[in-house]
Amino acid sequence: MAMLEVNNLSISFGGLHAVDDFNLTIEKGELYGLIGPNGAGKTTVFNLLTGVYKPSEGIIRLDGVDITGKSTMDINKAGVARTFQNIRLFKDMPVLDNVKTGFHNHYKYSTLTGILRLPKYRRVENSIDERSMEILKVFELDSEADLLAGNLPYGKQRKLEIARALATEPKLLLLDEPAAGMNPNETAELMETIRFVRDRFDMTILLIEHDMKLVSGICEKLTVLNFGRMLSMGTTSDVLNDPAVIAAYLGE
């Protein structure tokens, strides 16, 4: 069973087909790339997958379960987490607390337990602290756990956003142009980190990018989107050698 199945997904804004008859299948553990120029509809696809937008047509299944049209909260609980092209951290909170917010989806105690700081509260919070630090170590951010997130360098803020998404314990991780604004060294480091995350957490990852060279260097399979419609899909080598992609996207 595929981790993600998208069939005939469509949405229009004011008569404009932002995404038109989009199909996608991602197997468990794949590192998959969704690529296309600015305005191709990539982020709109992410917004449909995460419940920000409701599709006018189509079906979305996560691990066999229909999540079409559900709320963002329900889709997150079902196992989908994402990052954004424009970083969205709690910048006035410490690095550690940013990650802890993700884990709180999975740990529960009553309001009274929290107010009175009863033993269950301490056990839960200690467990969340430990697990959050483990994730920060993966991203080499553990030494900066007490810093305000907004004081981190840009590249580390990108890593922290991915770390926080992982704390929700997703089945599918959606990364929206995670290398945006990074210099070449930061980008190379981040790509290695994404590979490591896939292997370490047995994670299924869908990565949005507009840089063909970058995404083809990390993803096993690609879908190329243009004007809201699929231009090409398949293994990375097949897509790179597709005449339609060469003509319309690579400009060769």
Contacts for 199 with CB less than 8 Å, ≥ 6 apart: none
Q: Do the domain assignments include residue 85? A: no
Residue stretches of the chain with pLDDT short of 50: 112, 252
Whole-number pLDDT of residue 122: 67
Q: Do the domain assignments include residue 218? A: yes
Whole-number pLDDT of residue 169: 92
Number of structural domains the chain divides into: 2
Q: Do the domain assignments include residue 181? A: yes
**Which of these three, 137, 165, 193, is where a domain ends?**
165
Contacts for 181 with CB less than 8 Å, ≥ 6 apart: 154
In this structure, the answer to whether residues 116 and 237 fall within a common structural domain is no
